[in-house]
Structures are given as C-alpha cells and as structure tokens.
Amino acid sequence: MSVAGYADPRGSEAYNDELSLRRATNVAAVLTSAGVPRERILIEAHGKSADGNTDGDLDAYALERRVTVRLQLPGSAQVAARD
C-alpha cells in the first residue's frame, strides 16, 4: 500500500515537501491504528512537484492539497482499481 501526500504550488519547495510528508504520515498513522501493519505502508511525499496548472486559482489549490492511498494486491504487481 502506498500513501502519497501532495501540496499546492504556494510556498517554498522545502516547506511543501515537509507538508506533503506530514500529510502522508498522518494518514499512515490512522491506517496503522486501524490495524494495517506499518511495514505494509510505503509513504511518499510529492510536495508541489505533481501540482496541476492552477496558477492563482484558489479553488483549484484545494484539490492539490491531498493524500492518495493505493492498494496493491499481495504478491502481485497489480494495483486495486475502482471501475
């Protein structure tokens, strides 16, 4: 399972890297408290590197501040998907 944190394009690169890591770490902590083994969770921080083209759009910035969780089936390279 991977837990990836993101940030909007405002702020410095260092701040956004730390912020996206903190977001992903907090979600991973909730998953761990719900019974997911910590060793099964890969934490990723993308900072503002994966941001969209939101140039000054405050509403769009909200969509950039997120955490995604990807589930991978045990023993395979397949990723669970919702159709």
Return the pLDDT at 60: 80
CB 34 within 8 A of CB 69: no
Return the pLDDT at 63: 84
SS3 71: coil
Q: What is the pLDDT along the chain (83 residues), one digit of tens a residue?
A: 999 999 988 889 999 999 999 999 999 999 999 999 999 999 999 988 655 666 677 778 888 889 999 998 776 666 666 65
Question: Computed over its alpha carbons, how large is the radius of gyration of the chain?
Answer: 14
Structure tokens at 70: 């990807």
User: Which residue(s) pair with 2 in the sheet?
Assistant: 42, 70
Return the pLDDT at 5: 96
Q: Which amino acid is at 6?
A: Y
User: Which residue(s) pair with 4 in the sheet?
Assistant: 44, 68
* CA-based nearest residue to 5, from 51, 53, 72, 57: 51
